[in-house]
Amino acid sequence: MTDADNLKRQAAAQALEYVRSGMKLGLGTGSTAKHLVDLLALRVNEGLEVVGVPTSEATRAQAESLGVPLGTLDEHPVLDLCIDGADEVGPDLTLIKGGGGALLREKIVASAAKQMIVIADASKKVEVLGTFPLPIEVVDFGVAAIRRGIDRAARNAGCHGLLTLRRRPDGHVFVTDQGHLILDAAYHSITNPQALAAELSNVPGVVEHGLFINLASRVILAGAGGVTVIDR
Ligand code: 5RP
């Protein structure tokens, strides 16, 4: 396991301390969340009783293969806890998410949870969001017009930058689990995430964006110096 992987696993292990039998759990997506599902499966095999609601088909497949009991958000519209990774953690636990392309389901699941815990290696903590390109999920219709709408909206919030249509490693256009496209916005510095979030949400064709505001209540960061827990 690489050093970074080791840190991700430490953060995931710490988050499991907050999981109790009987909980309905939102299960995040990404390499850090993958550790969480691995470790959760070990606890389930020891007798922990939880129901997981996955935020992506990838997480569903992993959890299913490891024997973690799963349900849907329609069956469990209120979750006790959601545990997920993040691409950046900014001031007041604002987040950029969606590097793995699961931001829409992730935001719906996090919003349905009484508490969201973010797990990450310490390199994800930033003073200002935006070094990581902001994923924006859009419908597959009129993308050129949607891009112009996003540019206008971003300018209103003091941001500008290149929008790149996300592609898979094989060159094909990346399509989300919900059948949408992702534009990655290189804004570099998002000084007012609340304003940008409000502007982007108003653009016709934008399904969701990767700014998570007032959702994470706790962040667990694992670094070389140990694990730090930050509460909002
Ligand atoms: C997926 C996400 C992930 O949580 C985010 O990309 C972090 O991933 P990783 O744990 O692999 O660094 O938002 O849509």
11 domain-assigned = yes
- Segments of the chain with pLDDT less than 50: none
Its domain, for residue 55, covers 3-123+213-224
Ligand 1, residue 120: give the atom nearest the CA: 10
Query: Which strand ranges, in their side-by-side order, compose the sheet holding 88-89?
Result: 88-89, 95-96, 211-212
Helix (H) or strand (E) holding 58: helix 57-66
Residues 219 and 203 placed together within one structural domain of the fold: no
Binding annotation for substrate: 29-32, 84-87, 97-100, 124
How far is it, in rounded angstroms, from Cα 19 to Cα 145?
45
Domain co-membership, 220 together with 198: no
84 and 9 assigned to the same domain:
yes
Reduced 3-state DSSP string for 129-187: ECCCCEEEEECCCCHHHHHHHHHHHHHHCCCCCCEEECECCCCCECCCCCCCEEEEECC
Looking up residue 81, the CATH number of its domain turns out to be 3.40.50.1360
Cα angle 111, 117, 120 (rounded to 5 degrees) comes to 125
> Active-site residue 106, yes or no?
yes
Structure tokens at 41: 């499966």
Is position 190 within any domain?
yes
Q: Is the CB of 102 under 6 A from ligand 1?
A: yes
Task: Give residue 48's pLDDT.
Answer: 97
Do both 11 and 97 map to the same domain? yes
* Helices 31-45 & 3-16 angle (0-180, nearest 10): 50
Q: Are residues 156 and 82 in the same domain?
A: no
Residue 154 domain-assigned (yes or no): yes
pLDDT of residue 94: 98
**Is residue 97 located within the same domain as residue 199?**
no
Residue 129 lies inside a defined structural domain of this protein: no
In a domain, 174, yes or no: yes
Cβ–ligand 1 contact at 101 (below 6 Å): yes
pLDDT for res 2:
85
CATH value at residue 139: 3.30.70.260
Q: How far is the CA of 152 from the centre of ligand 1 (A)?
A: 27
Are both 23 and 102 inside the same structural domain? Answer: yes
Question: In a mutational test of the pocket of ligand 1, which residue from 5, 7, 8, 31 has the highest number of ligand atoms less than 8 Å from its CB?
Answer: 31
Comparing CA positions, the residue from 88, 181, 66 lying closest to residue 134 is 88
172-231 confidence digits (pLDDT tens): 999 999 999 999 999 999 999 999 999 999 999 999 999 999 999 999 999 999 999 999
Q: How many domains does the chain have?
A: 2
User: Cα 13 vs. chain centroid, distance in angstroms?
Assistant: 18
23/88 same-domain check: yes
Q: What residue type is 166 in one-letter code?
A: R
* Residue 219 counted as domain residue: yes
Nearest to 82 by CA among 217, 228, 229: 217
Instruction: Say if CB 62 and CB 109 are below 8 A apart.
Output: no
Partners of 222 in the β-ladder = 121, 227
